[in-house]
Homo-oligomer: A and B are copies of this chain.
Amino acid sequence: MKKIVDELNEKIIKLKCPVVVGLDPVIEKIPNYYKENLKDAKDKLGAVADIFFNFNKDIIDSICDIVPAVKPQMAFYEMYGEQGIRAFINTVKYAKQKGLLVIEDAKRNDIGNTAKAYAKGHLGKVDCGDGNKIPVFDVDFITVSPYLGLDSVEPFIEECKENNKGIFVLVKTSNPSSADIQDKVDENGKHIYENVAKFINRYGAELIGDTKYTSIGAVVGATFPEEALKLRKIMNNNIFLVPGYGAQGATAKDIVNCFNDDGLGALVNASRSIIFAYMKYESLETCSKEIYKKYVRESAIKMRDDIVQELRNVKNNLKY
């Protein structure tokens, strides 16, 4: 049966685009055009949430025929409480209507029954106590943190099997201080991130699809090309979700190690450099809806072209 990872790979090949756009709304950076109703709003949190949803719809409309997926970062919605969660869920629904896959970046983790609750809420269906089971967040993929150990990840894997979903487990993150824990070397001379990578690769074997990749992926930062090369070998059939491109400083040259020779195996994320691209040319006041959407689309196309060009230079067996 076709798995969610196969859908992702087919979209990447069809669109010739291994790029995911991060939907990370920040109210201060959103053009005033979207904020006309804010001043008079009684429910300020609700007003911000509505602005986020309309803002996201324009981003999605601008890139849904270019990229295979979007990655809303839960923190930017959750901080606005129930209203923010509503904007998040509406964004997920709209993105799916437009044919995009949705990767929720939430870095959830807990143990046993609690991890199960997160997994059911975000990937599965929740029990309403009267026999009804309802999908709530219903995203295609979610990011998961492994610090608590295997049993913080297993309940997510179970939901992936039941509902044909996927996860990306944090392995080597893009931030400088990711070294604090992830780069520690154990008794066997292995870094913590290598231990996590081996575990993920082993678990991934249960969810390999027609495209020979697994729905259990890994987060590997674009800012660490050497580690990526090592991790690519350990996790040969796991998809890497690659943050750190653009605003965090990584370039196309830095991320080619995250890909296999077939040009698959990695999905490179950019958020600020696309959704706030307009800020290089326009101000909050001058940026119209049309201008905003134009810069989103242009910056996404440029990122795609830069990455694909670099892949053409170094990979022998590109599938696109």
Tell me if B117 and A79 are in contact (CB < 8 A).
yes
Choose among B86, B127, B136 the residue that contacts A27 (Cβ–Cβ < 8 A).
Answer: B127
**Residue A6 at the B interface, CB < 8 A?**
no
**Residue A44 at the B interface, CB < 8 A?**
yes
Closest residue of B by beta carbon distance from A29: B129
Choose among B82, B109, B112, B187 the residue that contacts A86 (Cβ–Cβ < 8 A).
Answer: B82
Tell me if B196 and A128 are in contact (CB < 8 A).
no
**Residue A134 at the B interface, CB < 8 A?**
yes
**Residue A192 at the B interface, CB < 8 A?**
yes
**Residue A1 at the B interface, CB < 8 A?**
no
Copies of this chain per assembly:
2
Tell me if B111 and A173 are in contact (CB < 8 A).
yes
Tell me if A82 and B89 are in contact (CB < 8 A).
yes
**A24, A85, A148: residue with the most chain B Cβ atoms closer than 10 Å:** A148
**Residue A180 at the B interface, CB < 8 A?**
yes
**Residue A151 at the B interface, CB < 8 A?**
yes
Interface residues of A in 148-171 (CB under 8 A from B): 148-152, 170
Tell me if B186 and A185 are in contact (CB < 8 A).
yes
Contacts of A136 in B (CB 8 A): 45, 79-81
Contacts of A26 in B (CB 8 A): 113
Tell me if B177 and A148 are in contact (CB < 8 A).
yes
Contacts of A27 in B (CB 8 A): 127-129
In the assembled complex, the Cα of A48 lies from the Cα of B128 at a distance in Å of 6
In the assembled complex, the Cα of A108 lies from the Cα of B118 at a distance in Å of 12
**Residue A214 at the B interface, CB < 8 A?**
no
Tell me if B83 and A82 are in contact (CB < 8 A).
yes
**A170 CB, nearest partner CB in chain B, Å:** 6
Q: Name 14 interchain pairs, CB-CB below 8 A, sorted by A.
A: A27-B127, A35-B130, A38-B129, A45-B128, A47-B128, A73-B114, A75-B110, A79-B126, A82-B85, A111-B174, A147-B181, A151-B177, A152-B175, A181-B192
The 8 closest A-B pairs by CB, nearest first: A79-B121, A149-B177, A27-B129, A149-B180, A147-B147, A75-B117, A111-B175, A82-B82
| Besides the known contacts A48-B128, A80-B121, A111-B175, 10 further A-B residue pairs in the complex with CB atoms under 8 A apart | A24-B114, A45-B136, A73-B114, A75-B114, A82-B89, A107-B108, A107-B148, A149-B175, A152-B177, A185-B186
